[in-house]
Structure 1
Amino acid sequence: MEAPQGSFPVTTTVVTIQTEMPVRDHIVWSLFNTIFMNWCCLGFVAFAYSVKSRDRKMVGDMTGARTYASTAKCLNVLVLVLGLLTTIIFIVIIIIRAYSS
């Protein structure tokens, strides 16, 4: 009472699991640095890399998008640190001049 072996079609199911994290392009951070803390035009360069990262992400090139996003993040950190150091040094100079006179 067994069915012949070749009588039923064989079906396969393919399950695609996406394990990669989405690429963050840091465009808002780059825009902030471009407008408010554009130290030696590094904020604008970070913004350009963020736009390139977003373009690569829209095309589907996740490796290129990650590369551009990483560069944009490094530039944004550099701009932020330089901007904060400049602000702190400026405030210290003003305080020193105010108390020395």
Structure 2
Amino acid sequence: MPRTYGHTPSSSAPVTTTVINIQTETPVRDHIVWSLFNTIFLNWCCLGFMAFAYSVKSRDRKMVGDVIGAQTYASTAKCLNICALVLGLLLTIVFITLFVTGALMIPQMVRQHGGY
């Protein structure tokens, strides 16, 4: 006579199942390194600092689990970083061009020679 251990499949006990939902983490780039670079080197009109603030807000939202909020703040930080970079490069190139061509020396030369 065979011996059976445990429950037999014909038992009347209800079968319970456990479902575990594993959410894949969506990567949200917060652009914090780029914002820090713009804050330190290209902070024209405080755009770099504002981008850094939005990057920190994006990172905070990501830590809380608010992916949509993190993406919104990250998008704003990215736009501010692009504006800061373009404006910073343009103003730097204009300043260097004016300095090399001597246009910044004209008011000083006028003062030295007595002006009009």
Q: TM-score, normalising length from structure 2?
A: 0.69
Aligned partners of 1:43 and 1:32: how far apart in 2?
8
Runs of 4+ with >4 A deviation = 6-17
TM-score by length of 1: 0.78
Q: Which residue of 2 aligns with 1:72?
A: 77
Write the deviation string for residues 51-92 of structure 1: whole angstroms up to 9, x where unpaired: 000000000000000000000000000000000001111121
Aligned length: 95
Higher relative contact order (CA 8 A, sep 6+): 1
Higher Cα radius of gyration: 2
Structure 1 residues 16 and 70: CA distance shift in structure 2, 3 A = same
Identity %: 67
- Alignment RMSD: 2.3
Gap regions ≥5 residues in structure 2? 1-8, 107-116
The alpha carbon displacement at 1:10 in A equals: 7.5
